[in-house]
Amino acid sequence: MKKRIIVTILLSFLLLISSQSYGKITDENSINNNSVKKMNEQVYLGYSSILGDGNSSTLIAELENDIIIRLDSTTGVVDFYIDYEMNCYGPADFGIITVTIFLNDENVSGNFVQVGPLSDSENGSLFVSDIEVERGDALTFRLNVLYTNAIPPYTNSTSATGFGVISKNKLISNNLFQDLLSNSFGIINTILRRLIF
């Protein structure tokens, strides 16, 4: 009789737990409204800076590493970007910044921004947009920074490489107690089997 009561309580408890819904981790800026077009996920890759006067220069190429991009479905569209700042004050100088994205060792993009003699300084964000990704894709990205001056002849360059992976969203429960029980399902199952058999 005691076994039946315990089994009934445990089964009722398990049914109650299984009826609870699970939620997904989402970006707090995401909009779940069908009337609004869903925007591509934007992924920050790093920062670049050029400061040159024609005779010398300071170049920075900094990239994020171990980036994990989480998708709600098996595929998604992503915009990658870096922030940059260029100050080219030489008599005949210019700077070039290039960003290249590789998915599974295949070049899927190429983008650059250039500051030349007509513009001494510029800053903003350099986007590589509408890149289709899939779960399990391996991501590599490269940033090249070049500064050069014609008179007097002067050149300097630097680069950086970063890596990432495309993953699925982690499921979390709406209830801590439910999380603990779902992780202990194997233990509860073992107890039930021993009580029944």
pLDDT digits (tens, 9 = 90+) for 62-108: 999 889 998 888 889 999 999 999 999 988 898 999 999 999 999 88
Q: Which amino acid is at 137?
A: D
The CA distance from 116 to 98, in Å, is 15
Q: Where are the domains of the chain?
A: 39-171
Confidence of residue 1 (pLDDT cuts 50, 70, 90): low
Q: 16 CB contacts (<8 Å, ≥6 apart)?
A: none
- How high is the pLDDT of residue 22? 33
Cα end-to-end span (Å), the chain: 14
Average pLDDT score over the chain: 74
Token digits for 68? 């994990």
Predicted pLDDT at 173 = 43
pLDDT in the model for residue 30: 35
pLDDT at 116: 62
Q: What pLDDT sits at residue 91?
A: 85
The larger pLDDT score, comparing residue 100 to residue 15, is at 100
Give phi and psi for 13, each to the nearest 5.
-65, -45
- Asked if 106 contacts 100 with a C-beta cutoff of 8 angstroms, the reply is no
Q: What is the pLDDT of residues 17-55, one digit of tens each?
A: 333 333 232 333 333 444 344 578 899 999 999 999 999
* pLDDT above 80 for 181: no
| Assigned fold of 39-171 | Immunoglobulin-like (2.60.40)
Which residues, in sequence order, are bridge partners of residue 111? 99
- pLDDT, position 174: 47
Q: What pLDDT score does 38 carry?
A: 58
Q: How many CB atoms lie within 10 A of CB 78?
A: 19
Q: What is the pLDDT of residue 132?
A: 92
Q: In this structure, what are the phi and psi dihedrals at residue 164, rounded to the nearest 5 degrees?
A: -165, 180
Provide, rounded to the nearest whole percent, the portion of the chain with pLDDT above 70: 61
| Residue 177 scores a pLDDT above 80 | no
